[in-house]
Structure 1
């Protein structure tokens, strides 16, 4: 079973690589992602949409904050997102993560300022 630190490192690695199979392996079957841009989605749907809209992602971890005696932890990182139309958006992200009893991601809530990325995402062709 992976520790919260290991899950955090793998999650960021797979997110940066846009590795759908591996990122979903960190999630429970019913995992939900709550995103300011994509809304509340099942993990499979969220990551498929995100990776479709992404040319590349560069991530720099600021910290992993663990809650003692809890199934929750928080990631803080810098995200450089190159979108499908080659526009680049830089922002700081806070991910609130809840694990299930098997240490799989059950819920992940993403918090960041979407002013610039929302405008660009709306302009992307379907």
Structure 2
């Protein structure tokens, strides 16, 4: 559970003012002792990472149309994200890759389905 920084500061200020132990503070505010202990070690939350989280939907659709046989790791390299981000975006937007059942094992062929586009 994530708590605001203001709540953390208030709880720790009251703890210090009243001289409460970690266990007493946890009981009074209905929190876990682990939360209080973590807050004592670091009041401010950890800074956000600088990784890129959003993928442009139109750019991804164009990439799927341009490179229908590309692996997700190849798309991830082009977009500068991890493969899981590509997988999640494809799933979220309903982009699918269907293997052609008539093709042989050694050949990678398939059709790409982009929702809302008739081919």
Which structure carries more helix by proportion? Answer: 2
Q: TM-score, normalised to structure 2's length?
A: 0.25
Q: Which has the larger radius of gyration?
A: 2
Task: Please report the TM-score for the alignment, with normalisation by the length of structure 1.
Answer: 0.24
